[in-house]
Chain A
Amino acid sequence: MADSLLKRYTYDVMANDFMAAGKSSSAIKSNLKSLGIDSDILRRIAIISYEAELNIVIHSFGGKLHCDIYENKIVIISEDAGPGIEDVDLAMKEGYSTASDSVRELGFGAGMGLPNIKKYSDHLEINSSSTGTKIVATINL
């Protein structure tokens, strides 16, 4: 069955932990490489999962990053514990960012994360409330 879940990789992502930021998406990437995923797909997933992870680190109280493998698609899911995206439409705009100056000094907060997640996924769902944000990005194989 093409639509049954073959495998889920899950990683905890800590808020504000800039030392560890990028580790979860790196792990996803190396797992997918070892599965033999095509390099173009891999690159899209690399960008999506990295940006989703960084958003948990920068903007949320912490959460999880999942990578679900199906025979015909790969789904990156990020879930966090809030505070939520105030205005999702605005957040989707290129260059829009609420990142603080101190985060920008670290080289983050260009406001391109969500737009790039959108650009590189075939389907994107965002659900956000004050109790948390869930992003489901699908890449078809």
Chain B
Amino acid sequence: MNFSIMLDEGKCRGCTNCMKRCPTQAIRLINGKAFINTAKCIHCGECIRICPYNAYTPESIEWYNQMHDSPKKFKIAIPTTSLYGQFPRGTDICKVQNAILKVGFDYVYDASWAADLVARAIKLKIEKEKTIRPYISTYCPAAVRLIKYRYPSLMDNLILIREPMEIAGILARERVRKNYNLKDDDIKVFYISPCPAKLLAVTNPIGDYTPSVDWVIPLNKIYGNLYREVIKEDNNICSYPSLKGVRWSVAGGQSEHAELKNYLAVHGMENIIQIMEEIENGKLSNIDFVEASACVNGCVGGTFNVVNPFIATSNIYYISNSLKDECINPDIDRFDEMHATGFFNYKLKEEERPGKLNLKEAVERQEKIKEILDMLPGLDCGSCGAPTCLAHAEDVYNKESEFYDCVVLRAKK
């Protein structure tokens, strides 16, 4: 079980809001309750955000067990960069990492430190390889999966450089093995996450590697405990995130950190869809790098955050613009050595190639679906349990639903 978006059926009223919003049409109403097709879900969180009845519980139910059932394991925490935007202005954010230790972790490796490294790797790749334009960031797993399902022709544009979470996991494991004389099996790595999408990156990566992170913990689930520790008087061990690295939590932050001059930062699902259409049409090849974040404003907009995305953005800017940079990045000196070995690069996982397309059959199928569609009222009302009349026609064709689930036609009959 690795699915992170649960529905409380008692709260769901079958209002169709989530179903209509879902960018991959992964949701249907079955017996008046929303149902997510996990194979299609990209964990973007749109359904969680839009539900008027808060019926979705956006959590990986297993995180708690994972954390508490493994008391013998050495626990590493990797806090997301957006965590630093969640505290009131004036909070000593250098105390956050120590607070994480206090709530039950044994070691902290900041995602922003890894971002320092990844930003350099991105910069070098963009300077060196000029044939692919624009490169598209692989930081947001939901955006990457949207591309995979809706814009597969743009998979070649993905910049295949491991993202900070992954790099942080590898480097943290390495340090802990050495410093504490442990084996990999004795270690568990948790990412404190702003969103459900990161869980997907851990359980089902697009790359052909074994993820270094074992599980994600929703930020909001430990925020209360963390905050209490952060403000305690006796919490006085300071350790700083990278001030440029924390900007990764805001759209545009990756590109700025990588010192790119010619980039585009798009955020919010609908906006991403428009930009991907443009790229597919051959436009935007004059741009070096496209940052696409599923959430408004970037990861500060992730559904597990506790603070409004705009306030969090302002907090992050404040931190990165006005704090004195006292960050000591533990691995920055090793960058050249790591980069030379190809440490940051990866390949896409081999996917099963679809069998040879029989165009004749495909056209026939499309025509049959069109015939069904033409008999439907075209209201896209959602009452049948599918997001649009076309989706209903496809479901009927695939024998996944009944033609007369359409309430308008049933009323006429």
Known contacts being A39-B152, A69-B363, is A46 close to B357, with CB within 8 Å?
no
Q: Which of B344-395 contact A (CB under 8 A)?
A: 354, 357, 359-360, 362-363, 366-367
Chain B, residues 129-166, CB within 8 Å of chain A (1/0): the string is 00000000000000000000010111100000000000
Measured between C-beta atoms, what is the minimum distance from B310 to chain A in Å?
Answer: 29
Q: Is the CB of A46 within 8 A of B360?
A: no
A116 vs B155: C-alpha distance in the bound complex, in angstroms? 21
Whether B281 is near chain A, meaning CB under 8 Å from some CB there, is: yes
**Would you give the shortest CB distance from B338 to chain A, in whole angstroms?**
33
Residues of A in contact, count (CB < 8 Å): 26
CB-based nearest B residue for A33? B150
Inter-subunit contact B366/A35 (CB<8 Å):
yes
Q: In the complex where A40-B153, A42-B153, A43-B153 touch, is A35 in contact with B362 (Cβ < 8 A)?
A: yes
Cβ of B357: which chain A residues have Cβ within 8 Å of it? 35-38
Classify the secondary structure of B's interface with A.
helix
Q: Which of A1-56 contact B (CB under 8 A)?
A: 6-7, 22, 25-26, 29, 31, 33-40, 42-43, 46-47, 50-51
A51: which B residues are within 8 A, CB to CB?
A: 282
Q: Which of B274-304 contact A (CB under 8 A)?
A: 277, 280-282
User: Once the chains bind, are A36 and B281 in contact (CB under 8 Å)?
Assistant: no
On chain B, the residues within 8 Å of A116 by CB distance are 282
Residues of B within 8 A of A34 (CB): 366
Using known A-B contacts A36-B357, A37-B357, A69-B359, determine if residue A25 contacts B281 with beta carbons closer than 8 Å. yes
- Chain A residues proximal to chain B, CB less than 8 Å: 6-7, 22, 25-26, 29, 31, 33-40, 42-43, 46-47, 50-51, 69-71, 116, 141
Of the A-B pairs whose beta carbons lie under 8 Å apart in the complex, a sample of 5, sorted by A's number, is A7-B363, A35-B359, A43-B282, A50-B281, A116-B282
- B→A interface (CB under 8 Å): 150, 152-155, 277, 280-282, 354, 357, 359-360, 362-363, 366-367
